[in-house]
Amino acid sequence: MRNVFIMDFAVATAGLTKKYSFKTVLKDITLQIPKGKVFALLGPNGSGKTTFLKLISGLTRPSAGEGFCLGLNIATQGEEIRRSACFVSEEPRFYDFLTVQELLRFCRDLYPRWNSRFLDEHFKIFNIPIGEKIKNLSHGTRKQLALLIALAPEPELLFLDEPAAGFDPIFRRRFLNTALEKTIGEGKTVVIASHQLHEIERVADQIVFLREGQVLEHTSLQKIKANMKQIKVVFQTEPPSSLFTMEGILDVNRRENTFYIKVNRNIEAVWQACSRLPRFAMELTNLSLEEIYFYLMDNKREGDENNARPQSF
């Protein structure tokens, strides 16, 4: 990859592949994560989200392909990457015998920068007992602590692996807001791997859908939501089957006389065709990220010519 190109993005990968023994966990991932954006990785368990985060943070080496994170080679410059990119894992584990304060001291010495003022402020907001031993902290408090420890070195890039899994909506929102205020507010980049589609829909700029270690779709949230619509129509009579073979129709669901038609292009023509038929009601709705996610995961197959390709969105 060209140097200029590498420096333009927070992360740039080409043909990134990871194999463990005989199992290919990630296959031929080529994508770019722009700087200053919230980038979400979506996919079911085992789709390779965490492996991708580990690869681009230099925690594990690629079996094939190459990648650059903040202009640094992920295969050879892991330590340098982790000075400017911090990782919050799904289940953060710390040394139980240390107190919170001792853990902070331990971490402070490892990073070139450390914002103690930010920590002091947020320890009060999150109500984290600084003198308490780690082993006495609840799961939620540990996770908050992990986030604060990841934000204190003022990273250029923040990796969040299932950042708020298992938490109530209020906690989830507060957790993500803290992460985003400190990073996006300062022009930094956040990469989130998550199942929390509602939260992702609220915060993400760009999305990658992964399944079985491969990219199904890489697009901006705005674009995919603008281009992927659903026409809900209740016909008075049975519609002709030719209607559903029109170009741009992705999927048709029928519940009695109501038809839910998912369209990703040629929307105007499909709408006109439906409106020419006798009907009781018809409306055009936006799809939620959750609906798009389920559609992609259920329907899109590699090399399926009838399905939309990434560029079509």
Partner 1 sequence: MLGRSLFRKEIRENTLKFLFGVLLLGALALIITTPAASGPYPQSFFSRQDNLPGMETNLDKSPETAQKTLFSHFWKQWNSKGLALAGILVSIILGAGVFAQEKAKGTLFFLASTPLSRRNIYDTKVAAGLVLLFACIIGTTLLLILFTSFYGISLPVLPFVIGAFSAFCGLAVIYQVTIIFSILTDDPLKAGAASAFLSSLLSIPGLFEGGQKYSLLLQMQSRNSTLEEPFSWFFFLLMAALFFALRHLGLWLCYREEI
Interface ranges with partner 1 (CB under 8 A): 57, 59-61, 78-80, 82-83, 86-87, 89, 91-98, 105-111
C-alpha 86 chain-centroid distance: 16
Least gap, CB of 196 to partner 1 (angstroms):
21
Least gap, CB of 166 to partner 1 (angstroms):
16
Burial of 23 (0-12, 13-18, 19+ CB in 10 A): exposed
Which of 57, 230 has the CB closer to partner 1?
57
Which of 91, 304 has the CB closer to partner 1?
91
Least gap, CB of 175 to partner 1 (angstroms):
18
**Cα distances (Å, whole numbers) of residue 82 to 72, 76, 147, 153, 157:** 10, 12, 15, 10, 9
Q: Where are the beta strands (DSSP E) in the chain?
A: 9-20, 23-34, 38-42, 64-69, 72-73, 85-88, 157-161, 189-194, 206-211, 214-220, 229-235, 249-255, 258-263, 279-286
Least gap, CB of 262 to partner 1 (angstroms):
40
DSSP character at residue 277:
S
The strand pair at 249-255 and 157-161 is best described as: unpaired
DSSP character at residue 28:
E
Least gap, CB of 71 to partner 1 (angstroms):
16
Yes or no: say if 16 and 30 are a contact pair by the CB < 8 Å rule: yes
Which of 112, 303 has the CB closer to partner 1?
112
Which of 61, 309 has the CB closer to partner 1?
61
Least gap, CB of 199 to partner 1 (angstroms):
22
Q: How far apart are CA 99 and CA 195, in angstroms?
A: 32
Least gap, CB of 179 to partner 1 (angstroms):
16
Which of 45, 245 has the CB closer to partner 1?
45
Cβ count near 198 (within 10 Å): 12
Which of 92, 140 has the CB closer to partner 1?
92
Yes or no: say if 310 and 218 are a contact pair by the CB < 8 Å rule: yes
Two tokens at 91? 């289940």
Which of 51, 206 has the CB closer to partner 1?
51
Q: How far apart are CA 166 and CA 270, in angstroms?
A: 41
